[in-house]
Amino acid sequence: MVSKLITFHFTEYKRSKVTIVGVGQVGMACAISILQSNIADDVTLIDVMEEKVKGEVMDLQHGSLFLKTSKITAAKDYSDTANSRLCIITAGVRQKEGESRLNLVQRNVEVFKNIIPNLTKYSPNSILLVVSNPVDILTYVAWKLSGFPSHRVLGSGTNLDSARFRFLMGEKLKINSTSVHGYIIGEHGDSSVPVWSGANVAGVNLQSINPEMEQQDPDGWKEIHKKVVDSAYEVIKLKGYTSWAIGLSVSSLTQSILKNLRTVNPVSTLVKDMHGITENVFLSLPCILGSPGVCGVLRQPLQQRESEQLRKSAATLWSIQKDLKL
Amino acid sequence: MVKYDDLSKKEEGEQHGEGEEMASVHEKLISPVADCAPEQPRNKVTVVGVGQVGMACAFSILSGNYADELALVDVLEDKLEGEMMDLLHGSVFLKTRKIVANKDYSVTANSRIVVVTAGARQQEGESRLNLVQRNVNIFKHIIPQIVKYSPNCVLIVVSNPVDILTYITWKLSGLPKHRVIGSGCNLDSARFRYMMAEKLGIHASSFHGWILGEHGDSSVPVWSGANVAGVCLKSLNPNVGTDKDQENWKDVHKQVVDSAYKIIELKGYTNWAIGLSVADIIESLVKNLGRVHPVSTMVKNKYGINEEVFLSLPCVLNSCGVASVINVTLADDEVAKLRKSAETLWNIQKDLKDV
């Protein structure tokens, strides 16, 4: 009947394929965000849990009527991920009770040793976007294991921290978060750096209005950064994990890369030789993202205190990285 | 419960405080113009139940920008707060400014649409009647509160067994039947269209086919209407959908029926497709589109059905709810199936207590 109904002319070709490694809550939130924003024409999911991947992909495929992504695939092995433009890595092990950070990292290195070479084998020209934590270290690990030039390996870094930062500042000022501008840079996590000197609304620098912003600050601005840092823990305590916000943030980065938008986003990139950093580490700085990956890094003027913090983070990361068996 | 209010409250505290030198950043930065009293939401959507289905519905609603306010309700307070926070943290990427959550139903006030995904799941070996009775008890708590705070809303029931629970919702709410809709066969039809389209190498939206009646094992695929660009499959293959069909197209319907079980077996639950399909229904309602969807509606007096039961038929959905129903010409065996479903549903419904 098919041949009676339709005369086929062309075969298909793919241009914007995204592979997502890991179908846990974060991976699936990334998947649904990317699908609902219509930015890829092929989304492939892969995980060691085969049944789960199959089930998730089936569920997504059943929503095809409402989506505009023609191909959603459950990879049986890495060959199905071939020719991806972007590979998003959300897989990894979680910290066990009382586990040292170094130990967690080494365990994740073993997981990445399985994932990264396989991804790069089948998509040698792709861009790698690392989401798994600790993201800055794991982005370094992905870079080392892939052998890719550094502009093609980035970490989701403080993109989400900055989004939370803008949300909280927006709530405080009763303005939409998209109209409040502010960057959190550096290490994703407890020692991230809020660049108060850049926080502004319509170009009006907030610090110029309240120079005490970071210090005594009766206004309660300093606590905003603390709230950002605590965010993940708070949400995890309440619902067990975080998913929606990170999914949306990754989808936003994906859009910039696939559509060559050249937007500026704080993502984890190789920062050696920036802000006086001498180690081969990845930290978040405002980067221009496009089809080649990280097209450029903004030379953001930082205060003494801020660049010191970056250098301190770099030293901490390096002390862990140097002992890793890669 | 909404913690973020603290941030701006601190500002306001300062405003009535000391002197010039204590003026907040807010005051210095912003000169008020309009006296912006909080407005009533115009397209508020409430989702009851923040399990996997509820949150998938919530996310799809946010992605589609259908609501100007989203409210979440559940009995699990921590989970509720965590989910709300996680969504709020994505605000920079969204266009729905107000996202609220509380176990108290006052948070749902003035909703245009309320989606009910809450309910008990079938326990091993549990009879359907028992499951339904348990859900009646849950709905007895939920529905009156929804209606109390949003007397003009349209209710969408997603919880299973959806056709029975839509009936229960209608009874407990006292709302007119056009304002109580069951998600019904909207998802079944979406799955059908996807699977048929895959076989034909086209996009699901270009394959037209309807699954009607009872959501679940006894749903009815209306093969006579299945078409692509107006070309009826039946005109190409008169046996399509029957056991005589050599190409075995009937199997596609079986796959649709088995879908949910299969996915649950593989990943533990289904959520993405149902979330997308519910958002699709909501789009028609809030935008007053008048699109036709196969959703569960009161079918007494149609197709010779005498019982007050809800089954899926093609319904025209606009801002008032179910504006009208399309009168589909069904084959005798299809009508028989609908009537049998009605009978089965009524057998369960008539024994329910306190509805």
Residues of A labelled as active-site residues: 188
Among A180, A239, A253, A254, pick the best mutation site for testing chain B contact (most B Cβ within 10 A). A239
Q: What is the mean pLDDT of residues A225-245?
A: 93
Query: Residue A268: what pLDDT?
Result: 98
Q: What is the mean pLDDT of residues A206-214?
A: 81
- The mean predicted confidence, pLDDT, of chain B is 91
Question: From the annotation, which residues of A make up the binding site for NAD(+)?
Answer: 22-27, 47, 108, 131-133
- Other Cβ atoms less than 10 A from the Cβ of A114: the count is 12
Of the candidates A70, A177, A243, the beta carbon closest to that of B91 is on A177
Question: What pTM value is reported for the model?
Answer: 0.91
B8 touches chain A (CB under 8 A): yes
B22 touches chain A (CB under 8 A): yes
Among B208, B215, B253, B293, which one carries the catalytic annotation? B215
Determine the Cα–Cα distance for residues B103 and B80; give it in Å rounded to an integer.
Answer: 8
The tens digit of pLDDT for each residue in B219-239 reads 999 999 999 999 999 999 999
Name the one residue in this structure whose structure tokens are 């289905």. Answer: B53
ipTM of model = 0.89
Contact predicate B296/B315, CB 8 Å: no
Query: Residue B104: what pLDDT?
Result: 98
Tokens of A185: 């840079």
User: Taking a contact as any Cβ pair under 8 Å apart, which residues of chain B between 159 and 198 contact chain A?
Assistant: 187, 190-191, 193-194, 197
Assess whether pLDDT exceeds 60 at residue A57.
Answer: yes
The two beta strands, A17-21 and A42-46, are parallel
Q: Which of A93 and A287 is assigned the larger pLDDT? A: A287
- Chain A residues with CB inside 8 Å of B284's CB? none
The tens digit of pLDDT for each residue in B269-328 reads 999 999 999 999 999 999 999 999 999 999 999 999 999 999 999 999 999 999 999 999
Instruction: Provide the shortest C-alpha distance from residue B327 to chain A (in Å).
Output: 24
Assess whether pLDDT exceeds 90 at residue A208.
Answer: no
SS (H, E, C) B190-241: HHHHHHHHHHHCCCHHHEECCEEECCCCCEEECHHHCEECCEEHHHHCCCCC
Confidence of residue A146 (pLDDT cuts 50, 70, 90): very high
B91 touches chain A (CB under 8 A): yes
Among B93, B233, B246, pick the best mutation site for testing chain A contact (most A Cβ within 10 A). B93
Name the nearest CA neighbour of B338 among B213, B241, B167, B182.
B213
Q: Cα-Cα-Cα-Cα dihedral of A285, A291, A292, A296, to 10°?
A: -30
Q: Which of A218 and A156 is assigned the larger pLDDT? A: A156
Contact predicate A37/B93, CB 8 Å: no
Angle of helix A304-321 relative to helix A135-146, nearest 10 degrees, comes to 60
User: Is B304 labelled a binding residue?
Assistant: no
Query: Residue B67: what pLDDT?
Result: 97
B215 is catalytic: yes
- The DSSP output letter for A188 is S
pLDDT over 90, % of chain A: 82
Q: What angle do CA A59, A52, A152 make, to 5 degrees?
A: 90
- The mean predicted confidence, pLDDT, of chain A is 92
Per-residue pLDDT of chain B (355 residues; tens, 9 = 90+): 445 655 554 444 444 434 444 678 888 888 888 887 778 899 999 999 999 999 999 999 999 999 999 999 999 999 999 999 999 999 999 999 999 999 999 999 999 999 999 998 777 777 777 888 899 999 999 999 999 999 999 999 999 999 999 999 999 999 999 999 999 999 999 999 999 999 999 999 999 999 999 998 899 999 999 999 999 999 999 999 999 999 999 999 999 999 988 999 999 999 999 999 999 999 999 999 999 999 999 999 999 999 999 999 999 999 999 999 999 999 999 999 999 999 999 999 999 987 7
Query: Residue B7: what pLDDT?
Result: 56
Contact predicate B252/B204, CB 8 Å: no
Query: Residue B18: what pLDDT?
Result: 41
Of the candidates A33, A55, A168, the beta carbon closest to that of B263 is on A55
Q: Which residues contact B117 (CB under 8 A, 6 or more apart)?
A: B47, B48, B49, B51, B53, B54, B57, B158, B159
Residue of A nearest to B61 (CA): A36
Query: Residue A14: what pLDDT?
Result: 59
B271 touches chain A (CB under 8 A): yes
> What b/e string do you get for B153-180 counting C-beta neighbours within 10 Å, with b at 16 or more?
bbbbbbbbbbbbbbbbbbbbbebebbbb
- The DSSP output letter for A182 is -
CB contact under 8 A, B263 and A58: yes
CB contact under 8 A, A160 and B89: yes
| Amino acid in position A258 | L
Confidence of residue A216 (pLDDT cuts 50, 70, 90): low
